[in-house]
Amino acid sequence: MNGTLRSRLVRVLLSGASVALAIGLPVHVGAQEGAQPQPSYQNMTPEQRAAATRAFLGLGPEPDKAAAARGAPMYRQSCAFCHGPQARGATGSSLITSDVVLGDDRGEHLVAFLKKGRPERGMPAFANMTDGQLADIAEFIHLQVEEVANRGAYHVLNILIGNAASGQAYVAAHCRSCHTAETFAHIGSKYRSPDQLQRSWIWPPRPADNSLAVTATVKTPDGASISGRVTQLSDFRISLVDSAGITHTIDREPRVLVEMNDPLAPHQQMIQALTNDDMHNITAYLDSLK
Amino acid sequence: MRLTSGIIAALAAALHTGSVLLAAQAAPHVSLNPAEIGKPPVTSWPTFNGDYTAQRYSTLTQIKPSNLNRLAQRWVYKITDVGAQRGAPVPIVKCTPLLVDGVLYITIPDHVWAIDARTGKPLWHYDWVDRGGHLIGQRGVGIWNTTVFFLTPDNWLIALDANTGRELWRKNYADARKQYFSTSAPLIVKDHVIVGVGGDAMDMPGFLDSFDPVTGDLQWTWWSTPRKGDAALATWPNEAASDHGGGMTWMPGTYDADLNLLYWPTGNTNPVFAGQGRPGANLWTESIVALDPDTGKLKWYFQVSPHDTHDFDNTTAPIFFDRVVGGKRRKLLAQAARNGYFVTLDRETGKYLVAKPYVPLDWSAGLSPQGEPIPIPDKDPTVGGSINIVNASNWEAPAYNPKTGLFYVNSVEGNAIYYLTDNSAQPSGYGGTGAGIGHATRVLKAIDPLTGSAVWQHAYPNLNNAPSTLGPSILTTASNLLITGDDQKSAIIFSADKGQVLWHSELSASESSGVITYMLDGKQYIVSAAGDTLYAWSLPK
């Protein structure tokens, strides 16, 4: 089986290794390893994310989008009736996992295949099309594979589906015990996308000025009390930086008392109780505060 | 361009082989009668879970609470001859080591090492050059007599001489171009080498293959989703959806010799997050299935996550135990599922005794008459986002201790927002995405498997989120030890009955492998890996 493996896969696996390293994987790795992308992955541009995932998955070279766009109308006219508008199958088979498609790189096999067709299975020959046209159709099909298999290239759709007035009412009822109107002023223009806004109002990133840092007070058996920003916490150790900037690392012996304070604790509680409708409504409201 | 790729293809074809590096010392004499595999492990650790119960329980008591203050590292073995792999900047040992006749076998993707358990020195190293597949992890080898079986990322079953590492034969069983990849440890049952597979990027069906250990001939295949003529097709909208329905088998199963039944957990349904194209329960994905190991025929199933839309990939190990329930001795199995439910089933019939959340969750509207959680449609991924739990467990091994009667799992309590990115009528692939929101905490739980309630639990303090993909496995012993670790480089021993911290030691990385123990030359060893380093502990002379 592997003897028939084509260059599409191999070439990209070899080049993919360097791509992956250059941008610092790990990436979103899927079912075996949970569904949550790593923070570094979140910070990538969409193009980096797609490239990293493509390399990790061994998906082949990046489809040529211009060629695929040229191929799209020809695909719609000649192929979509049987294979579906996105090549996911209709009366004919899905092309997403087709051996012929996956074994092809840039049309070097598909062009000849399409010229001949598979008359014995009811697939016509496309002998009247030029090699260039058939290569563009091949590229369109490769793009359909990419859009299914490369989850790093997925895009969140328009998430603004809530009711802004209901969201405003929720904010007035639930958020004003800690926040003033100033917190929300222009919040709708601070993020590059509504899903970033949604994510950030639910669980704000802790800013570099440490204004949302976790703090603690540690009381040691000799009566000393140290307070500061926590930089590490385990069963066995706590490290904190005090107001003078001095780092203290204390072993958590049995008589060492630790009192933690997380300014985001109310948000952690909110996440446990937040309904999807409330989330959508609040996001719609906040997005309107440009 | 074409010329270049042609040359590289030819080069890769030439490289597509394994090679073995032998240390300059006498070959060992490893041989494992497959009839020994099911016995409680004492002087060996001959299969992924130690024995077929998957309890990861040792009867050894030389290392005990009163002498833990003298427990010390005997040797370490650090992988230094493998650099960055595709998608993996540094090697991380995610296998459970096997120990047979004084030789340890460890793996990472594409690599197997045989290590002298007395010295920590390598005896041989087998190096495979893959042509595709994901290098996420490798769970270890299987051993049958003098043959070691190893699975590669690009889905080759490789038979190696256990004593020299020499390749005996290889067999390809799945196509990496279709995003099938292999990470599992083959399960040896009698004269069967049973192999599962992973890969959910392209809507392929999961399966199990059984191979002849001598010839590599295929004995049977079981598909995770039903084929034409099967009544279970009623749980799919059509045959094509079932044919592309997922249900990967990427963690090793278990076996009951008395019942002659093989038990396997099956992974998530495809398309992964977009369920609108596959209304129905989608059997036998997200299930525990009982199969005849000689034929691959299904005896019963229990579907832990009907119609999954959250990648609740049901591959966490089910564990066997026998208990008296209502005056009758029952053969049971329990699983701390990734969907947050703890289930206890009858091993003979698959009927449930317990199905209860073991982490806070709100995605279920209760249980079906069969005990299967009923999902709430509003909690499915949506275009606007839907809050649900993160996976409550993963591949890291849970354990059961017959002395305490408790089931142990390092769970994760946390949430994520799940988005539908493909709202078409015919989604494909993942069709959605999930991202953690809020703080995710690792919590060690000791669960009474007859009630599903935690008797004690320990939340590991951590400023960072518990990693969803890597975490500590568990081993318990007859001397009341629970051996595990945290996500901050500490190996930790708790008391199994109460959950008190008895011992801890800082490692070079967080524990990443299965933990094993065995007796060698009259001394009890504990062995586990953290990152690229394998550690062996014992008491001094």
Question: Can you name the residues that pair with B38 across neighbouring β-strands?
Answer: none
- Give the whole-angstrom CA distance, residue B443 versus residue B441: 6
Pairwise CB contact (< 8 Å): A29 & B178: no
- Residue B150's SS3 state is strand
Residue (of B370, B375, B371, B369) closest to B339 by Cα position: B375
Any idea what the Cα angle at residue B58 is, between residues B56 and B61, rounded to 5°? 150
B-chain residue closest to A96, CA distance: B202
Q: What pLDDT is stored for residue B27 in this prediction? A: 82
Residue matched to tokens 């030890």: B481
Residue with tokens 């999807």, as numbered in its chain: A276
A94 and A227 part of one domain: no
Structural domain that includes position A173: 164-204+266-287
Mean pLDDT of chain A: 87
pLDDT recorded at residue A58: 84
Residue A210 lies in a domain: no
State how far the Cα of B510 lies from the Cα of B487, in Å rounded to an integer: 5
How confident is the model at residue B31, as a pLDDT? 97
What's the mean pLDDT when you consider all of chain B?
95
**What are the angstrom distances between the C-alpha of B508 and each of B96, B105, B467, B474?**
18, 21, 17, 19
Q: What is the largest CA-CA distance in chain A?
A: 91
- In chain B, the residue whose alpha carbon lies closest to the alpha carbon of A254 is B501
Q: Are residues A84 and A180 in the same domain?
A: no
DSSP run (H or E) holding B76: strand B72-78
Beta bridge partners of B221: B209
| pLDDT (tens digit per residue) in A188-235 | 999 999 999 999 999 999 999 999 999 999 999 999 999 999 999 999
A137 and A221: one domain?
no
Enter the tokens of residue A138.
């091949």
Shared domain for A34 and A151, answered yes or no, is yes
Q: What are the tens digits of pLDDT across the range B5-42?
A: 334 444 444 455 788 888 767 788 999 999 999 999 99
Sign of CA pseudo-dihedral B256, B257, B258, B259:
positive
B3 vs A contacts (CB less than 8 Å): none
Categorise residue B112: left if φ over 0, alpha if ψ from -120 to 50, beta otherwise. beta
Chain center to CA of B180: 17
Is the CB of A11 less than 8 angstroms away from the CB of B385? no
Mean pLDDT across A251-266 = 96
Q: Which of A175, A169, A104 is nearest to A141 (CA)?
A: A104
Model confidence band, residue B50 (pLDDT cutoffs 50, 70, 90):
very high
The number of residues in chain A equals 290
Q: Are A225 and A95 part of one and the same domain?
A: no
Substitution target in A36, A41, A88, A269 with the highest count of B β-carbons within 10 Å is A36
A241 found inside a domain: yes
Q: Are residues A186 and A54 in the same domain?
A: no
Residue A42: burial class (beta carbons within 10 Å; 0-12, 13-18, 19+):
middle
Would you say the ipTM is above 0.90?
Answer: yes
Bridging pattern class, strands B475-477 and B57-58: parallel
State pLDDT tens for residues A143-176. Answer: 999 999 999 999 999 999 999 999 999 999 999 9
Last residue of a domain, one of A116, A137, A155: A155
pLDDT tens-place string over residues B307-320: 999 999 999 999 99
- Residue A16: which of A49, A46, A59 has the closest Cα? A59
| Contact of B50 with B41, CB cutoff 8 Å | yes
Q: What is the CATH number of the domain that holds A37?
A: 1.10.760.10
The residues, any chain, with a CB within 8 Å of residue B71's CB and separated by 6 or more, are B63, B503, B526, B537, B538, B539
B133 touches A at CB < 8 Å: yes
pLDDT score recorded for residue A37:
38
Contacts of B501 in chain A (CB under 8 A): 235
Same domain assignment for residues A130 and A243:
no
B216-226 average pLDDT score: 98
Report d(CA B402, CA B476) in Å as an integer.
10
**Residue A228 structure tokens:** 């500061």
A16 and A71 belong to one structural domain? yes
| Phi then psi dihedrals of residue B52, to 5 deg | -80, -10
Of B89, B132, B201, the CB nearest to A13: B132
Opening angle at CA B321, ends B319 and B325, nearest 5: 130
Phi, psi of B413 (to 5 degrees): -105, 115
Long-range contact set of residues B356-362: C-beta below 8 Å, sequence gap at least 24: B356/B451, B356/B452, B356/B453, B358/B392, B358/B409, B358/B411, B358/B445, B358/B447, B358/B452, B358/B454, B359/B389, B359/B392, B359/B411, B359/B412, B359/B413, B359/B443, B360/A272, B360/B389, B360/B413, B361/B388, B361/B389, B361/B392
CA of B398: how far to CAs of B375, B401, B462, in Å? 25, 10, 21
Check whether residue A116 and residue A168 sit in a common domain.
Answer: no
**Residues of A with CB below 8 A from B313's CB?**
31-32
Each residue's pLDDT tens digit, A39-48: 466 678 888 9
Closest Cβ opposite residue A198 in set B267, B385, B439: B385
Please tell me whether residues A55 and A94 are part of one structural domain: yes
Is the predicted pLDDT of residue A18 greater than 60, yes or no? no
Per DSSP, the residues of A1-49 read -GGG--HHHHHHHHHHHHHHHHTT------GGG-SPPPHHHHTS-HHHH
The count of domains in chain A is 3
Distance CA B215, CA B307 (A): 39
Domain shared by A126 and A191, yes or no:
no
- Helix axis angle, B2-15 to A7-22, nearest 10°: 90
Our CA angle for B269, B136, B115, nearest 5°, is 130
Residues of chain A contacting residue B133, judged by C-beta atoms under 8 Å apart: 58
* Contact partners, residue B320, CB within 8 Å, separation at least 6: B52, B53, B54, B55, B254, B256, B263, B331, B332, B333, B347
Q: How far apart are CA B336 and CA B392, in angstroms?
A: 8
Predicted pLDDT at B18: 83
Q: Is the pLDDT of residue B399 over 70?
A: yes
What is the Cα–Cα distance from A277 to A288, expressed in whole angstroms? 17
Inter-chain residue contact B437 with A202, CB threshold 8 Å: yes
Residue A209 located in a structural domain:
no
In B394-424, which positions are buried (b, 16+ CB within 10 angstroms) versus exposed (e)?
A: bbbbbbbbeebebbbbbbbbbbbbbbbbbee
The answer to the question of residue A86 being in a domain is yes
Give dist(CA A229, CA B197) in Å, integer. Answer: 46
pLDDT of A6 higher than 50: no
- Residue A57 domain-assigned? yes
Q: What is the mean pLDDT of residues B127-152?
A: 96
Nearest CA in chain A to B249: A32
Q: Are B516 and B523 in contact (CB under 8 A)?
A: no
Q: What's the pLDDT score for residue A140?
A: 98
Same domain, A188 and A122: no
- Phi and psi dihedrals of B475, rounded to 5? -135, 140
Upper half-sphere CA count for residue B347 (Cβ side, 13 Å): 26
pLDDT of A12 > 60? The answer is no
Cα–Cα distance, B16 to A2 (Å, whole number): 9
Contacts of B162 (CB under 8 A, 6+ apart): B30, B31, B32, B100, B103, B105, B114, B143, B146, B147, B148
The C-alpha of B210 sits at a distance from chain A's nearest C-alpha, in angstroms, of 18
* pLDDT for residue B522: 97
Global confidence as pTM: 0.93
Q: At B109, list the tokens.
A: 């993707």
Distance CA A238, CA B512 (A): 23
Tokens of B406: 């408790």
Q: Are strands B218-223 and B254-256 parallel, antiparallel or unpaired?
A: unpaired
Query: In which band, very low, low, confident or very high, does the pLDDT at B295 lie, cut at 50, 70 and 90?
Result: very high
Question: What is the rounded distance in angstroms from the CA atom of residue B56 to the CA atom of residue A14?
Answer: 39
B 399-418 residues inside an 8 A Cβ radius of A: 415-418
Please check whether residue B424 touches A, CB under 8 A.
yes
pLDDT for position A42? 66
Query: Do the Cβ atoms of A234 and B387 come within 8 Å?
Result: no
Concatenated DSSP letters for B420-481? ES--SSS--S--EEEEEEEEEEEEEEEEETTTTEEEEEEEPP-SSPPPSS-----EEETTSE
Task: Give residue B222's pLDDT.
Answer: 98
Contacting residues of B for A50, CB less than 8 Å apart: none
Region B169-173: what's the mean pLDDT?
98
CA distances from B453 to A224, B124, B337, B350 (A): 40, 46, 14, 21
Question: How confident is the model at residue A59, as a pLDDT?
Answer: 86
**Which two structure tokens, joined as six digits, stand for B305?**
């996550």
| pLDDT tens, position by position, B358-375 | 999 999 999 999 999 999
Cα separation, B145 vs B148, whole angstroms = 8
Q: CA B35, CA B436: separation in Å to the nearest integer? A: 45
Q: Give the number of other Cβ atoms within 10 Å of residue B479's Cβ.
A: 20
